[in-house]
Amino acid sequence: MPEHYEIKIRGHLDPGWSDWFAGLTITHIESNQTLLSGSLPDQSALHGLLERIRDLNLTLISLTCGDPSIRDTDEVGQSS
């Protein structure tokens, strides 16, 4: 079953790299970072994507799995 992922890396990737990163959406965010987001079919596809990030010598900052709308709702409901 496909799973939604958000992968944050250091530096800004050109949006033209999207096909090379399994068609994930490329978004430039604060602090000279890029967010790769979208669905991957399985863990094997995720590991392949992480290998590409490693092979390009990109710095992995974070990896988040799951539906972002659920995660955002959970974070809003939390109190400090």
- pLDDT for the residue numbered 78: 42
Pairing state between β 3-10 and 60-65: antiparallel
31 in any annotated domain: yes
Give domain status of residue 40, yes or no: yes
Q: Is residue 73 part of a domain?
A: no
Helices (H) and strands (E) in the chain, counts: 2, 4
CATH number, domain with residue 34:
3.30.70
**In a domain? residue 57:** yes
pLDDT of residue 1: 82
Place of tokens 């799995």: 65
**What's the total number of domains in the chain?**
1
Query: Is residue 76 assigned to a domain?
Result: no
List, for residues 29-76, the tens digit of each pLDDT value: 989 999 999 999 999 999 999 999 999 999 999 999 987 766 554 444
Query: Does residue 30 belong to any structural domain of this protein?
Result: yes
In angstroms, the CA 59 to CA 4 distance is 21
Structural domain boundaries enclosing 13: 3-65
Number of Cβ within 10 Å of residue 56's Cβ equals 13
Q: What local confidence, expressed as pLDDT, does residue 73 receive?
A: 44
